[in-house]
Amino acid sequence: MRDAVPIGLGYFAVSFSLGITAHNAGLSAMQGFIASLLCTASAGEYAGFTLIAAGASYAEVSLMTFITNMRYMLMSLALSQRCSEKMPFVHRLIFGYAITDELFAINIARPGHLDPWYYYGGILSSVPLWALGTALGVISGDVLPARIVSALSVALYGMFLAIVIPPAKKSRVIGGIVAVCFAASYITGRVSLLSGISSGTRTIILTLVIASAAALLFPVPTDDDID
């Protein structure tokens, strides 16, 4: 829970501005709270709220949310490889409920098998603040100046940097891969052929391509290789 407190505070700030989007879509504070409690994904929620505001159908909202959140399947696969064979299946189901970028990072960074109780502590310290921030954002509506809302939205990127920079400083390979990721993300968002693809789909493609190339070019030694 202690390790996830900074994550929860960042979630609170970012979801506050997300709540303003929910307010513009006509959601109440309680609806915004439940939406964030059940969907811990900023891009997915933003896409959903935007479609709700546009009067889209349930099917359209479901499909767009599914596509936007597909990258979490990759994180699920990575986490599943770290689960002990003796771990009850119910733990895996609860992990799947709250696979966020930040919770994934702090759990995957720990050595050995995943500790369910460590993961649950992270959930308890972060997800309620994500839902509460959305509810308060709905209540605030359009009262706050646009500059303050924009400033709050930067908090999540600050958390990403805090997660990425330490391992990048320790390894030149990781640092180089991170730089390639930044450059590739920027370029694909500007190239006309790829810019029309949703950001979630671009993220999936870049993740598969860059991660596969890094695994082939810079394989991490296993225990068998060391022996």
3-state SS string over 65-96?
HHHHCCHHHHHHHHHHCCCCCCCCHHHHHHHH
* Residue 189 placed within a domain: yes
Clarify whether residues 62 and 13 are in a common domain: yes
Q: pLDDT at position 140, please?
A: 82
Residue 133: what residue type?
Answer: G
Clarify whether residues 116 and 185 are in a common domain: no
- Phi then psi dihedrals of residue 201, to 5 deg: -70, -40
Residues of the chain with pLDDT under 70: 142, 146, 149-160, 195, 198-201, 221-227
In which domain, by residue range, is 20 found?
A: 5-156
* Residue 183 placed within a domain: yes
Q: pLDDT at position 226, please?
A: 46
Q: pLDDT at position 168, please?
A: 85
Q: Per the structure block, which two tokens stand in for 193?
A: 């052929």
Contact 114, 95 (CB under 8 A): yes
Clarify whether residues 99 and 180 are in a common domain: no
Clarify whether residues 121 and 22 are in a common domain: yes
Clarify whether residues 108 and 197 are in a common domain: no
pTM, two decimal places? 0.67
Contact 174, 182 (CB under 8 A): no
- Domains contained in the chain, number: 2
The answer for residues whose C-beta is within 8 angstroms of residue 37's C-beta and 6 or more apart is 127, 128, 130, 131
* Residue 161 placed within a domain: no
Clarify whether residues 70 and 177 are in a common domain: no
Backbone φ/ψ region at 43: left (φ over 0), alpha (ψ -120 to 50), beta: alpha
Clarify whether residues 146 and 183 are in a common domain: no
Residue 219 DSSP symbol: P
* Residue 93 placed within a domain: yes
* Residue 120 placed within a domain: yes
Clarify whether residues 46 and 150 are in a common domain: yes
Residue 46: what residue type?
Answer: Y
Clarify whether residues 78 and 176 are in a common domain: no
Three-state DSSP at 23 gives helix
Q: pLDDT at position 30, please?
A: 94
Clarify whether residues 189 and 131 are in a common domain: no
Domain boundary among 133, 156, 179: 156
Clarify whether residues 185 and 146 are in a common domain: no
Domain boundary among 156, 183, 199: 156
Clarify whether residues 106 and 192 are in a common domain: no
